[in-house]
Structure 1
Protein backbone atom coordinates (compact mmCIF):
# COMPACT_ATOMS: atom_id res chain seq x y z
CA UNK A 1 0.00 0.00 0.00
CA UNK A 2 1.30 3.44 -0.90
CA UNK A 3 0.58 6.26 1.51
CA UNK A 4 0.60 9.85 0.29
CA UNK A 5 0.35 12.43 3.03
CA UNK A 6 1.46 15.97 3.75
CA UNK A 7 2.42 16.64 7.34
CA UNK A 8 2.75 20.20 8.62
CA UNK A 9 4.18 20.75 12.10
CA UNK A 10 3.83 24.20 13.68
CA UNK A 11 5.79 24.87 16.85
CA UNK A 12 5.58 28.23 18.60
CA UNK A 13 8.92 29.68 19.73
CA UNK A 14 8.62 31.94 22.77
CA UNK A 15 11.09 34.75 23.47
CA UNK A 16 12.49 32.71 26.38
CA UNK A 17 13.23 29.67 24.18
CA UNK A 18 16.21 28.77 22.02
CA UNK A 19 14.98 28.23 18.45
CA UNK A 20 17.47 25.42 17.81
CA UNK A 21 16.17 23.53 20.82
CA UNK A 22 12.59 23.76 19.55
CA UNK A 23 13.84 22.61 16.12
CA UNK A 24 15.54 19.62 17.78
CA UNK A 25 12.27 18.70 19.51
CA UNK A 26 10.44 18.71 16.17
CA UNK A 27 13.21 16.77 14.40
CA UNK A 28 13.20 14.13 17.13
CA UNK A 29 9.59 13.23 16.31
CA UNK A 30 9.68 14.11 12.58
CA UNK A 31 13.31 13.57 11.47
CA UNK A 32 12.57 13.90 7.73
CA UNK A 33 10.80 17.24 8.08
CA UNK A 34 12.10 20.34 6.32
CA UNK A 35 12.08 23.18 8.84
CA UNK A 36 11.82 26.90 8.27
CA UNK A 37 11.69 29.75 10.72
CA UNK A 38 8.78 32.19 10.66
CA UNK A 39 8.15 35.05 13.09
CA UNK A 40 7.39 33.45 16.47
CA UNK A 41 7.30 29.89 15.23
CA UNK A 42 8.92 27.04 13.37
CA UNK A 43 7.09 25.34 10.52
CA UNK A 44 8.12 21.89 9.32
CA UNK A 45 6.84 19.94 6.34
CA UNK A 46 7.16 16.21 5.80
CA UNK A 47 5.58 13.39 3.83
CA UNK A 48 6.16 10.67 6.40
CA UNK A 49 5.05 9.74 9.88
CA UNK A 50 7.16 6.58 10.06
CA UNK A 51 9.46 7.76 12.87
CA UNK A 52 6.45 9.12 14.76
CA UNK A 53 4.72 5.75 14.33
CA UNK A 54 7.79 3.92 15.64
CA UNK A 55 7.76 6.13 18.73
CA UNK A 56 4.03 5.40 19.28
CA UNK A 57 4.81 1.67 19.15
CA UNK A 58 7.79 2.04 21.54
CA UNK A 59 5.72 4.02 24.04
CA UNK A 60 2.81 1.58 23.61
CA UNK A 61 0.26 4.38 23.16
CA UNK A 62 -1.37 3.27 19.91
CA UNK A 63 -4.92 3.35 21.29
CA UNK A 64 -4.41 6.85 22.68
CA UNK A 65 -2.99 8.01 19.34
CA UNK A 66 -5.92 6.57 17.39
CA UNK A 67 -8.36 8.32 19.70
CA UNK A 68 -6.57 11.65 19.25
CA UNK A 69 -6.27 11.26 15.47
CA UNK A 70 -9.96 10.44 15.01
CA UNK A 71 -11.07 13.13 17.49
CA UNK A 72 -10.06 15.88 15.05
CA UNK A 73 -10.41 14.05 11.73
CA UNK A 74 -12.42 14.81 8.62
CA UNK A 75 -12.39 13.53 5.03
CA UNK A 76 -9.24 15.52 4.22
CA UNK A 77 -7.05 14.44 7.14
CA UNK A 78 -6.56 14.91 10.86
CA UNK A 79 -4.86 17.21 13.33
CA UNK A 80 -3.50 16.77 16.82
CA UNK A 81 -1.43 18.68 19.35
CA UNK A 82 1.65 17.61 21.27
CA UNK A 83 3.20 18.89 24.48
CA UNK A 84 6.40 20.71 23.63
CA UNK A 85 8.18 19.86 26.91
CA UNK A 86 7.72 16.14 26.26
CA UNK A 87 8.91 16.52 22.66
CA UNK A 88 12.15 18.07 23.96
CA UNK A 89 12.76 14.67 25.60
CA UNK A 90 11.72 12.72 22.49
CA UNK A 91 8.47 11.63 24.13
CA UNK A 92 5.03 11.81 22.53
CA UNK A 93 2.50 13.35 24.89
CA UNK A 94 -0.77 14.47 23.33
CA UNK A 95 -1.97 17.90 24.40
CA UNK A 96 -5.57 18.00 25.52
CA UNK A 97 -7.27 20.84 27.32
CA UNK A 98 -5.47 24.10 27.99
CA UNK A 99 -2.34 24.84 25.97
CA UNK A 100 0.98 24.70 27.78
CA UNK A 101 2.62 28.02 28.64
CA UNK A 102 5.28 27.31 25.99
CA UNK A 103 2.57 26.53 23.48
CA UNK A 104 1.65 23.18 22.02
CA UNK A 105 3.06 21.72 18.82
CA UNK A 106 0.26 21.50 16.25
CA UNK A 107 0.40 18.73 13.66
CA UNK A 108 -1.80 18.84 10.56
CA UNK A 109 -1.95 15.74 8.36
CA UNK A 110 -3.50 16.00 4.91
CA UNK A 111 -4.25 12.60 3.40
CA UNK A 112 -4.12 12.06 -0.37
CA UNK A 113 -4.00 8.23 -0.51
CA UNK A 114 -5.52 5.90 0.50
CA UNK A 115 -7.91 7.55 3.01
CA UNK A 116 -7.81 8.91 6.56
CA UNK A 117 -8.70 5.61 8.21
CA UNK A 118 -6.07 3.75 6.17
CA UNK A 119 -3.34 6.22 7.17
CA UNK A 120 -4.37 6.11 10.83
CA UNK A 121 -4.32 2.29 10.70
CA UNK A 122 -0.80 2.46 9.24
CA UNK A 123 0.57 4.98 11.76
CA UNK A 124 -1.26 3.64 14.82
CA UNK A 125 -2.80 0.24 14.07
CA UNK A 126 -5.69 -1.02 16.15
CA UNK A 127 -4.68 -3.23 19.05
CA UNK A 128 -6.01 -6.36 20.66
CA UNK A 129 -4.90 -6.90 24.25
CA UNK A 130 -2.23 -4.23 23.69
CA UNK A 131 -0.74 -5.94 20.61
CA UNK A 132 -1.02 -4.21 17.22
CA UNK A 133 -3.40 -5.90 14.82
CA UNK A 134 -3.12 -5.10 11.12
CA UNK A 135 -6.41 -5.97 9.40
CA UNK A 136 -4.71 -5.97 5.97
CA UNK A 137 -2.24 -8.73 6.88
Structure 2
Protein backbone atom coordinates (compact mmCIF):
# COMPACT_ATOMS: atom_id res chain seq x y z
CA UNK A 1 0.00 0.00 0.00
CA UNK A 2 2.79 2.40 0.95
CA UNK A 3 4.66 1.77 -2.33
CA UNK A 4 1.44 2.18 -4.29
CA UNK A 5 0.87 5.56 -2.65
CA UNK A 6 4.40 6.68 -3.48
CA UNK A 7 4.09 5.57 -7.09
CA UNK A 8 0.78 7.44 -7.37
CA UNK A 9 2.34 10.61 -5.92
CA UNK A 10 5.31 10.39 -8.28
CA UNK A 11 3.12 9.90 -11.35
CA UNK A 12 0.75 12.70 -10.33
CA UNK A 13 3.72 14.95 -9.74
CA UNK A 14 5.06 14.08 -13.18
CA UNK A 15 1.80 14.99 -14.86
CA UNK A 16 1.35 18.19 -12.89
CA UNK A 17 4.85 19.51 -13.41
CA UNK A 18 5.61 18.28 -16.91
CA UNK A 19 6.14 21.21 -19.19
CA UNK A 20 5.17 19.62 -22.50
CA UNK A 21 2.13 17.46 -21.86
CA UNK A 22 1.30 17.31 -25.55
CA UNK A 23 4.54 15.51 -26.40
CA UNK A 24 4.56 11.75 -26.43
CA UNK A 25 6.03 10.20 -23.33
CA UNK A 26 9.79 10.45 -23.52
CA UNK A 27 12.00 7.35 -23.48
CA UNK A 28 13.46 8.47 -20.13
CA UNK A 29 9.98 8.54 -18.60
CA UNK A 30 9.27 5.13 -20.08
CA UNK A 31 12.46 3.68 -18.58
CA UNK A 32 11.65 5.21 -15.20
CA UNK A 33 8.15 3.73 -15.34
CA UNK A 34 9.59 0.31 -16.16
CA UNK A 35 11.96 0.65 -13.23
CA UNK A 36 9.02 1.47 -10.94
CA UNK A 37 7.16 -1.53 -12.32
CA UNK A 38 9.47 -4.05 -10.70
CA UNK A 39 7.66 -6.33 -8.31
CA UNK A 40 8.14 -5.58 -4.59
CA UNK A 41 10.19 -2.46 -5.27
CA UNK A 42 11.49 -0.74 -2.15
CA UNK A 43 11.46 2.99 -1.44
CA UNK A 44 15.23 3.05 -1.89
CA UNK A 45 14.96 1.32 -5.27
CA UNK A 46 12.24 3.75 -6.36
CA UNK A 47 14.45 6.64 -5.36
CA UNK A 48 17.31 5.17 -7.38
CA UNK A 49 15.00 4.90 -10.42
CA UNK A 50 14.28 8.62 -10.18
CA UNK A 51 17.93 9.55 -9.66
CA UNK A 52 18.85 7.58 -12.80
CA UNK A 53 16.06 9.37 -14.70
CA UNK A 54 17.34 12.76 -13.48
CA UNK A 55 20.84 11.88 -14.67
CA UNK A 56 19.42 10.87 -18.05
CA UNK A 57 17.54 14.16 -18.31
CA UNK A 58 20.76 15.98 -17.48
CA UNK A 59 22.45 14.21 -20.41
CA UNK A 60 19.56 15.29 -22.66
CA UNK A 61 19.88 18.86 -21.39
CA UNK A 62 23.60 18.86 -22.21
CA UNK A 63 22.97 17.30 -25.61
CA UNK A 64 20.56 20.07 -26.63
CA UNK A 65 22.71 22.80 -25.10
CA UNK A 66 25.66 21.58 -27.18
CA UNK A 67 23.51 21.30 -30.31
CA UNK A 68 22.29 24.85 -29.77
CA UNK A 69 25.88 26.03 -29.33
CA UNK A 70 26.64 24.87 -32.87
CA UNK A 71 23.44 26.17 -34.52
CA UNK A 72 22.68 29.51 -32.88
CA UNK A 73 24.25 32.77 -34.01
CA UNK A 74 27.11 33.70 -31.66
CA UNK A 75 25.26 36.60 -29.98
CA UNK A 76 22.17 34.44 -29.36
CA UNK A 77 24.27 31.63 -27.93
CA UNK A 78 26.03 34.04 -25.57
CA UNK A 79 22.64 35.02 -24.17
CA UNK A 80 21.68 31.34 -23.80
CA UNK A 81 25.02 30.66 -22.11
CA UNK A 82 24.38 33.41 -19.56
CA UNK A 83 20.84 32.13 -19.05
CA UNK A 84 22.12 28.59 -18.54
CA UNK A 85 24.62 29.77 -15.92
CA UNK A 86 21.78 31.45 -14.02
CA UNK A 87 19.62 28.35 -14.40
CA UNK A 88 22.41 26.20 -12.90
CA UNK A 89 22.55 28.53 -9.90
CA UNK A 90 18.76 28.24 -9.54
CA UNK A 91 18.88 24.42 -9.92
CA UNK A 92 21.59 24.05 -7.30
CA UNK A 93 19.90 26.35 -4.77
CA UNK A 94 16.48 24.78 -5.31
CA UNK A 95 17.98 21.31 -5.00
CA UNK A 96 19.62 22.29 -1.73
CA UNK A 97 16.31 23.58 -0.40
CA UNK A 98 14.40 20.51 -1.60
CA UNK A 99 16.93 18.27 0.16
CA UNK A 100 16.72 20.27 3.37
CA UNK A 101 12.92 20.38 3.31
CA UNK A 102 12.16 16.78 2.39
CA UNK A 103 15.08 15.08 4.14
CA UNK A 104 15.10 17.10 7.37
CA UNK A 105 11.87 19.07 7.86
CA UNK A 106 9.50 16.32 6.73
CA UNK A 107 9.61 12.90 8.37
CA UNK A 108 9.61 9.54 6.65
CA UNK A 109 11.45 7.91 3.80
CA UNK A 110 8.58 8.41 1.37
CA UNK A 111 9.50 12.11 1.29
CA UNK A 112 12.94 11.22 -0.07
CA UNK A 113 11.29 9.91 -3.23
CA UNK A 114 9.21 13.05 -3.59
CA UNK A 115 12.35 15.17 -3.16
CA UNK A 116 14.21 13.27 -5.86
CA UNK A 117 11.25 13.57 -8.19
CA UNK A 118 11.08 17.33 -7.71
CA UNK A 119 14.80 17.62 -8.49
CA UNK A 120 14.33 15.47 -11.59
CA UNK A 121 11.43 17.62 -12.80
CA UNK A 122 13.57 20.77 -12.63
CA UNK A 123 16.18 19.19 -14.90
CA UNK A 124 13.58 17.57 -17.14
CA UNK A 125 11.76 20.85 -17.73
CA UNK A 126 14.98 22.64 -18.70
CA UNK A 127 15.99 19.78 -21.01
CA UNK A 128 12.61 19.94 -22.74
CA UNK A 129 12.92 23.71 -23.03
CA UNK A 130 16.31 23.44 -24.75
CA UNK A 131 14.99 20.66 -26.97
CA UNK A 132 12.09 22.89 -28.00
CA UNK A 133 14.47 25.75 -28.87
CA UNK A 134 16.58 23.40 -30.97
CA UNK A 135 13.60 21.89 -32.77
CA UNK A 136 12.18 25.34 -33.46
CA UNK A 137 15.39 26.21 -35.34
CA UNK A 138 14.29 23.73 -38.00
CA UNK A 139 10.99 25.54 -38.68
Superposed pair shares fold, TM > 0.5: no
What's the TM-score, normalizing by structure 2? 0.29
More helix by share: 2
More strand by share: 1
